[in-house]
Amino acid sequence: MAASGKLASLRLPPLPTVGELIKLYNLRAEKQLSQNFLLDLRLTDKIVRQAGSLRDAHVCEVGPGPGGLTRSILKGGAVDLLVVEKDSRFIPGLKLLSEAAPGRLRIVHGDILNYRIDRGFPANISKPWEEDPPNLHIIGNLPFSVSTPLIIKWLENIANRTGPFVYGRTQLTLTFQKEVVQRLTASTGSKQRSRLSIMAQYLCNVRNCFTIPGQAFVPKPQVDVGVVHFTPLVTPQIQQPFKLVEKVVRNIFQYRRKYCHKGVEKLFPEACRMELTQEMMEKADVDPTLRPTELTIPHIRALADAYAHLCSQEPSLLSYEFREELRMKRLTRQINTPMDSFTGT
Ligand code: SAM
* pLDDT tens-digit readout, 167-192: 999 999 999 999 999 999 999 999 99
Shortest-distance atom of ligand 1 to CA 150: 23
Least confident of 162-171, 211-220, 286-295: 211-220
- What pLDDT is recorded for position 3? 46
Residue whose Cα lies nearest atom 11 of ligand 1: it is: 63
In 100-111, which positions are buried (b, 16+ CB within 10 angstroms) versus exposed (e)?
bbeebbebbeee
**C-beta of 64 in contact with ligand 1 (< 6 A):** yes
Instruction: Residue 307: count other Cβ atoms within 10 Å of its Cβ.
Output: 25
Query: How much distance in Å is there from the Cα of 48 to the middle of ligand 1?
Result: 16
Mean per-residue pLDDT, 154-178: 97
| Residues 98/101/102/107 CA torsion (nearest 10 deg) | -30
141 within ligand 1 shell (Cβ under 6 A):
yes
Q: What is the DSSP letter of 319?
A: G
pLDDT band per the 50, 70, 90 thresholds, residue 19:
confident
Closest protein CA for atom 21 of ligand 1:
86
CA angle at residue 308 from 254 to 310, to 5 degrees? 95
CA nearest neighbour of 236 among 171, 172, 159, 288: 159
Q: Is 43 in the pocket of ligand 1 (CB under 6 A)?
A: no
So what's the pLDDT on residue 340?
59
- ipTM given for this complex: 0.99
Q: Does the pLDDT value for residue 342 go beyond 90?
A: no
261 versus 2: which is more confidently predicted?
261
User: Could you report the per-residue pLDDT of 282-302, keeping only the tens digit for each?
Assistant: 999 999 999 999 999 999 999
* Residue 37 near ligand 1, beta carbon < 6 Å: yes
How far apart (Å, rounded) are the C-alpha atoms in residues 36 and 144?
A: 10
Our answer on whether the CB atom of 300 is closer than 6 Å to any ligand 1 atom is no
Binding site membership of 234 for ligand 1 (Cβ less than 6 Å) = no
Which residue among 146, 177, 217 has the greatest number of ligand 1 atoms within 8 angstroms of its CB, and so is best to mutate?
Answer: 146
Tell me the CB-side half-sphere exposure of residue 237, using CA atoms within 13 A: 17
pLDDT of residue 6: 55
Cβ neighbours of residue 249 closer than 8 Å, sequence gap 6 or more: 195, 198, 199, 300
10 pLDDT higher than 60: yes
**What average pLDDT does this structure show over 14-38?**
75
271 pLDDT exceeds 80? yes
User: Quick one: pLDDT at residue 345?
Assistant: 43
274 lines ligand 1 (CB under 6 A): no
In sequence order, the β-bridge partners of residue 107 are 83
Q: CA of 194: how far to CAs of 191, 243, 327, in Å?
A: 8, 17, 25
DSSP state of 166: G
Q: Does pLDDT of 211 surpass 60? A: yes
Q: In the predicted model, what is the mean pLDDT of the chain?
A: 91
pLDDT > 70 fraction of the chain, expressed in percent and rounded: 93
Range 138-149 average pLDDT: 92
Does the pLDDT value for residue 5 go beyond 80?
no
**Structure confidence by residue, pLDDT tens digits, 313-338:** 999 999 999 988 888 878 888 777 76
For the segment 207-221, the average pLDDT, to the nearest whole number, is: 91
Q: What is the mean pLDDT of residues 33-41?
A: 84
Tell me the average pLDDT across 99-121.
96
Atom of ligand 1 nearest to the CA of 61: 1
Of the pLDDT bands very low, low, confident and very high (cuts 50, 70, 90), residue 1 is very low
Q: Is the pLDDT of residue 7 over 60?
A: no
18-32, 81-95, 161-175, 225-239: segment of lowest average pLDDT: 18-32
Give the separation between CA 61 and CA 327, rounded to whole angstroms.
41
Cis peptide before 219 (omega within 30 of 0): yes
Identify which has the larger pLDDT, 29 or 66.
66
Question: Would you say the CB of residue 146 lies under 6 angstroms from ligand 1?
Answer: yes
Q: Is the pLDDT of residue 30 over 80?
A: no
Q: In what order do the strands lie in the sheet with 105-109?
A: 105-109, 80-85, 58-62, 136-140, 171-177, 225-232, 204-212
